[in-house]
Chain A
Amino acid sequence: MSGAAGAIPSPAPTARTAGARPRRFTPRRVTAILSHAYIWFCLAIFVLPFFALLVQSLGSRGGTSGIGNFSDALGSFSDNLFWSFKITAAVLVIDLLVSLPAAYALVRYPVPGKRVLFSLLQLPLYVPGAVIGLSLLFTYTFAYRIESTLGLILALAVGSFPLMLTPLVVAMKDLPIVFEEAAACLGATGLADLPEDRLPVDRAGRVGRVASCASSSSSTSIS
């Protein structure tokens, strides 16, 4: 004990000097883990119905099973699948051709009654598909007896058009006007700077294209 009395007194033990490991589960870290877990839980729920469909499609039903179901679907129903793709692609092109100039005019030009106009263009988003479908049935099947593929494509385009228009408006609002002015100063014409300047910076507009594609590919009521 005498030796110990002569020794230099050691400093009070802290977490670091005592060799204790830093806490692994701080409240901040736990919150972060729970946050990510919540995101993945929700995403799993999103995907679950589709996963159930996939499992069901691989099961044995009515004499065929597994890949056989898919080869049957791609064989007998390939026309239907191709038809869906064709219609969706056409709707997407029409939506883009109609929405892009409309969004540009709404954002950049002094349009009178802009809010009313925008709300009228957004109305298909709120009108139920069954109502649009029924009104089209009355008009084009019963009243005027016009039934064509182009008509179906245009009708689907009306239903999904606001999903393209709104993100394009958002994207164009966020796009600084200086890019266009710079392009104009450098001699670009209105049409020339569209693919080179405006479309490349239009990231939010891509969301619209995906949403529009998703909406038109799944629209059953209007069809």
Chain B
Amino acid sequence: MRTVATLTGASRVLGRSLQLVLVTLVEVVVGLFTGRLGEALASLRALLGLMPRTLPIVARRQAIRGQRAVPEREVLGLQVRGSSRLTSYLRGKETATYVGADTTVRRWREASFGPPLTWFCVILAIVIGSRALIRHGVPAVGEFLPFPDSPRQLLHDYRSSFDPRGFGATVALPTGYAILSVASALTLFRMPLMMTVTVIGLYLVGGLGAWRVATVFPVSRARIAALVVYVGTPLVPGVLGAGDFSGLVWFAALPWLVHLIKRGAGLDTADPSTAVIDLVDGVAQVDLRHRFRAIAFATLVLASTAAFVPVAIALFAVCGLLIAFATLLVGGAWRVAAWLAACTAIASLLAFVLNLPWALDWTWTTVTGPQTAGASGRNAYDVASLAPDNLRFGVLALALYVPVVAAVAITRAWRLTWSARGAALVIGFGALMLLADRGALPIDMPRPSLLAVPIALGLAINAAALVGGFGTDVLGRGFGWRQPAALLANLAIVVGLVPAAVSIGDGSWNTPQPPLTTFLDSQLPLDATQGDFRVLYVGDPRVLPVPGREYTPGVAYAVVDGGALDFTDRFPTAETAGDAAVERTLQLVAQGSTLRAGRLLAPLGIRYIVLPETDGVASTNDAPIPVPAGLIAAFRNQLDIGSLPGPPALTVFANDAWIPVAAQLTGATADASKLAGDDALVRADLALAKPLMVGADGRPASSAEVTPGVVHLAIPYDSRLHLQVDGTELTSRPGFGTATDFDVTEPGTAVLSYARDSTRSLWVAVQVVLWLAVLVVAAGARASFGRRRVDDVHDETLIDLTDAPPLSLGVAGEVLGLPVWNDDDELVFEPESQPDDEATPPGDEPSEPADRPEPKLRPASRPAPIPVGRDQRGSARTPTAFGAAQAIDDAGDDAELDLAGLVASVDDDEEHT
């Protein structure tokens, strides 16, 4: 950098300086995630080191000025354009490592126009299918509720110990708050844009993950098959149309998780030439460090997923165990199965830890959500199609199961092993989904879309196995049933993609217009003069606009603050005394034990009771989910709850007896607040309540003028809530047996405050440290943080202009094409025109080794086939023709996006082991 700063001409020095800064920052970010943090920090140090050396550099520039023999533009004309690092990175993509029974070989990768064309088509399809979302933003359907406007506030809320959602409580807030807040930087804190990018991006990330999983297959068409099947199942249109954020996140994460645990288990692309010996798996020799990296990376992915979908940890555990079981079932090495299981278990455990302290509030009931009443009555074939009911030709997706069976019946060697793993996912989760749909499981189960994601991945894996092995397992064998069966299965893949392809035409994945939330906003307007209020939703859990809490199977409820719903409402809330009061009231209403439910709900600030009937997604006008029997009647029967006119999608009731969330109580109402119990409440006079401190429901920090009586806060009693009147601290007490009330004896200015839980900061700090620790392990950083410091900053002669320039092992060495080390004893050359098995007739792989072209030694200077051998020390490594270039670019095989780059670094390290 000092050289650049010294030698760059005056006209370009400013631009070069900016370029240096930007490139260094990018390098730091990339280095953090690719295991080259040390190099990145070195670059950063070099950049920062320029500042104290400014004067010496200026002096040297002046000294050099007189020695310029040619104009700078001529020097520029002689320089090679572009980024040497990028070039070497891309060059690294041209080869791939294959794991054989005893050796690991690096060969030219198949050069095909298929992958870019496929990706282009997939991205185009997703963009076209999402065009309405891109143009108008993501509609507030299901969990696609708008992100909060302020990421800063979101982060602040996360650091707080008070959760204002629901009834409000001192609890840890979801880790997703912090992730969202940090991630918002990617869209420059534009939250609507972030929602769109997130929704569409997660779809693509899932597809990319499937592609990565399919890298175990050496041919591109296998990866193409995995990609198109995974993104082309009807699952995703259904998830997007329903606003199923949980399903989408899980869809994006699962293939990456599977990819990472397979890396942790040492599974890699098997050498196609070993097909004849029925190689069960391509098991690479990897050391613990690389296993830990893979596990750490899986932990990060899983923890991030669990931050939004806690049940993903359990689902992933089942996935990992199924894959391990399938490995054993088809004769795989027990060590591989054990590593698969161990990676899964460790990643799951650590993901839980990374979500502490929020994770302490998880229960199986809260993470799975409320359950339906029992059997859905859907046809098993409809369930298996993974298609939503409103998707045309959804039943055609059943064709995607044909390759599952065909792959199991036809494929051989490691492809059979992967077919077994895919089939395990399909059968295992298919059975769970069918049994759950029939109400035949004794435990609560996650929603169907979450169970469907592993099925989709299993379908993709087996499609890849079948397509990838078409040459060897089908064409390479004698004519028989396999050929027509395989052709039929390939055709089935095309047929199975029809429903998803058809769904593209809608442009918004069949999201309902207008969404249910539109009605809610118009029906339940905020009015500051009336005070803050809450809304109680009761109904079938599938039609509630936010995740509910189960009252009985098939009936759930949720309490939210008045005003528009936002993304934070999609997270389950902690159970409080308020929830117990609501459930008790619902029970009384259901039993007909009171017709004064309004009074029972009044101290909780519940002004409206909304019974959703149709949401346009799970329950439509054409196929409505019946409202739980007696629900509407039971509320209509109440004497202090009145009906409000509204759209047919909702039945809205107004609680005539409601008390604002923050209220000044006087007279009989103030007296009533000292009593507890339903008996007292139904007799109480609740009319003498005035709104106070508007906004206190969201943030208990406000002030207002009060009169003698009671200040009532509809927040379950919390001793951290404080009220001072003219500087005098008032003692809090439970109000109406549930809320937090303060007795006011003198008029004055009341100031409400909340004493933050001091341990929350510690928790957050520990959590940040844990995340960073796992991140560092995942990044494989081995940088020496103990920077050697020099006492005196001095410039030194970097280039002796009087002598010939030395050859270095850096970029210059690469440019000159000088090998640094090339112990090519085991060099194997596959002509570029015949990449791996794809080019070896008759199919992807030769049926007999003798048919394969003889390996040839290649010139050491030729930048091509790179075997992976073992050096004399016995450690595996990757010789390269580029020597120092390899040191710069030891990226993995094919990482197209950043995330791919991250994982590629894990791959890469293993390849070099």
- Our verdict on whether A and B bind, yes or no, reads no
Which B residues are closer than 8 A to A by beta carbons? none
Which A residues are closer than 8 A to B by beta carbons? none
